[in-house]
Amino acid sequence: MQKVYLDNAATTQVRDEVISRMQEALAQYYGNPSSTHSFGRSAKTAVEQARKTIAKTLNAQASEIIFTSGGTEADNMILRCSVRDLGVETIITSKIEHHAVLHTVEELEKEYGINVWYVNLDEWGNPDLDHLETLLKKDDSKKLVSLMHVNNEIGNITDIAAVGELCKENNALFHSDTVQSIGHYPWDVQAVNIDFMTAAAHKFHGPKGIGFAFIRKNSGLKPLIVGGAQERGFRAGTEPFHNIVGLEEAFIKAYEHLEEETKTVRELKEYFVDKVLKEVPGAVCNGLSGDLDKSTYTLVNVRLPFDKQKSLMLLFHLDMKGIACSKGSACQSGSDQGSHVLSEILSGEELEKPSLRFSFSMYNTKEELDYAVEVLREFANS
C-alpha cells in the first residue's frame, strides 16, 4: 500500500542530519549541562551555541531565547507570567487561536478575573484591525494582545507588523504564537514590535518535545517552573541536550534552504489545490487557505461535497489507503467536537460538510498528490 504523509502541520519528518546530530549527542556528550566538570562543560557549550544560532537568525539577543518543551509550554508560560508578573488586566485575542492560547486565557480569566476580549474576524478569518484598535483604546487597563502569525488550521497570515504597531501606539504588550511560522518564514524581531514569540522544533523537521520562547529583554517576567538555575534561572529542569542540538540543526537547515524549500512546497500546494478542485467537483477551500498570497504555502483546508453519512467514513477510508491528513489541529483530534476555527467562519450548512487539512513539506512529491486526489475522486464517485 502506498503511504502518503500530508499532515505536516501536525508534525514533520525529522531530517537525517538532525537524527545524526542527536545520535552523536546522546552517545558522546551525555554530561549534565549544569555540571562543572568537562563532560558538563561540553554539553553546556553546545546548549549556549544553539541559543546563539537561533538568536542570530532572528536578530535577537541570546538571552532572549528560552528553551521549552514546545509551543504549548511557551504560550502558557508567557501568558500566565504576563498576568502574574506584569499586571496584565486584559488579554485581547481571537476565537481561532490555538487551544494552547485559548484554554490558557480561559483559565486566567477564572483564576485572576482578567478581562478577555475577542477581536472580530472577517468572513475569511482575518482579525479586524480597526476593531483591535477600538479594543486597545477601550479603557486604561494593562493589555496584552495574543494573535498567532499563521493559523494552524486554515493557514491565514496575520499582518504581524500592523498588529505590533497598534500595540506600540497603545502601550500594549504583544505575544504571537509563531509555531506554524518559525522555520518557514524569515524573522527579524528588531523590525517588528513584538514582545513574545513561541516555536516548536517538530514543525520544521526537528524533534518533538523541544521548542523555545522569545522573550524581549527586560520584560519583567519571572520563572513559571522553579527548582534550578537552568535557562539563566528562567526555567528549571535539566536541559534536554540532545533535543536542543536537534532543534538547532533543524533550525539551521530550515533557514539555509528556506528559499528553495519554500519554492518547492509552494509549487506542491498550488498543484494540489488546482487538481483537487478540478477532480472533485464541489470541493472548495476554507478561509483563504487556497490563496497562495494570503495564506501559508504549507497547508490548505478543503471542504468536500459529501453528505453527513458518507463523511463519517472519509478519514478512515483515507487512512486505509495510506493517506495521512487531518480534520483540524492534531491537538484536538481526540475530541468529537468540530473545529473551533471553522465554526467561526462557516455557516451551519457548510459545517455539515467534511473539511480536511492537507499540509505539505519538501519530502512530498506530485505523484503522491496525484494519488491522494485520485483516492478522493474515487470516494466521491463511490
Q: Which residues are catalytic?
A: 331
Side-chain-side CA neighbours of residue 243 (13 Å): 16
Which among 8, 10, 17 is positioned nearest to 256, based on CA atoms?
17
**Angle of helix 16-28 relative to helix 241-256, nearest 10 degrees?**
150
Q: Is 168 within 8 Å of 157 (Cβ atoms)?
A: no
Q: Is the dihedral of CA 92, 94, 95, 96 positive or negative?
A: negative
> For residue 198, what is the enclosing H or E element?
strand 196-200
- For the chain, the maximum distance between any two Cα atoms, rounded to a whole number of angstroms, is 67
DSSP string covering 102-147, please?
HHHHHHHHHHH--EEEE--B-TTS-B-HHHHHHHHTS-SS-EEEE-
Q: In a 3-state reduction of DSSP, which class is residue 54?
A: helix
Query: Whose grid coordinates read 486505509?
Result: 320
Q: Which residues contact 125 (CB under 8 A, 6 or more apart)?
A: 96, 151, 154, 156, 287, 288, 341, 344, 345
Q: How big is the chain by its Cα radius of gyration, in Å?
A: 21
Q: In a 3-state reduction of DSSP, which class is residue 372?
A: helix
